[in-house]
Every structure is written in C-alpha cells, then in structure tokens.
C-alpha cells in the first residue's frame, strides 16, 4: 500500500495568519476530536471514523506560538489531510 505524503507547497500563500497550537486544538476539538492524553506541553487527540471505526491519533503542541511548517505538515498528515494547502485554509477559516 502506497503512503500519501502531504505536500507543503502554498500554505504560506493560503494562511492569512500564522497558525498556533491552540488554534489547531480548538478547531480539532470543535470537529469531533477528543483529548486522549496530555504530556507536558503536548496534547494527544483522537478521532474515531463513523464509517469504519478506525482511530486517528494526533499530537499537537499546546502553545500560543506559531507552529513551524514541518510540524504543521506532520499534524495535517496525522489528521488524514490529502492537501496541506486546503488543510491550512480550513484551520484558518475555523479558528
């Protein structure tokens, strides 16, 4: 099975503001992700698919600081995003 890699191109173009960990946490928890655990400054969220019951685990730093692009890409990939640019726009629209 081939793994899909989230592309990083264009997020800066789409992002009208810098994305913080707290913004990501707010958007994800508003969209059916629940807190599974907390370790230090990181929160692990989980989401169960209503279609097949598969669980996604996403770890997000709980910070007011801007998340670096590489970390943002990893979070998007863990969320199952196929298009990094669209995922960034979705976070910005919902934060």
Q: Which long-range contacts (CB under 8 A, 24 or more apart) does 83-88 make?
A: 83/6, 83/7, 84/6, 84/7, 84/8, 84/9, 84/10, 84/11, 85/7, 85/9, 85/10, 85/11, 85/13, 85/14, 86/14, 87/6, 88/11, 88/14, 88/15, 88/19
Q: What domains, with CATH codes, occur in the chain?
A: 11-94 (3.30.920.30)
pLDDT band at 4 (very low <50, low <70, confident <90, very high): very low
- DSSP result, 36-83: EEEETTEEEEEEE-TTT--EEEEEEE--SSBPPHHHHHHHHHHHT-S-
pLDDT in tens, 35-92: 999 999 999 999 998 888 899 999 999 999 999 999 999 999 999 999 999 999 999 9
Enter the pTM of the model: 0.80
């Amino acid at each position: 099975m081939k793994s899909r890699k989230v592309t990083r191109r264009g997020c800066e173009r789409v992002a009208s503001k810098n994305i913080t960990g707290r913004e990501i946490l707010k958007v994800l928890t508003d969209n059916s992700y629940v807190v599974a655990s907390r370790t230090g400054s990181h929160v692990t969220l989980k989401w169960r698919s209503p279609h097949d019951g598969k669980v996604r685990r996403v770890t997000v730093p709980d910070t007011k600081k801007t998340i670096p692009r590489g970390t943002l890409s990893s979070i998007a990939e863990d969320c199952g995003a196929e298009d990094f640019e669209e995922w960034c726009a979705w976070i910005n629209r919902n934060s």
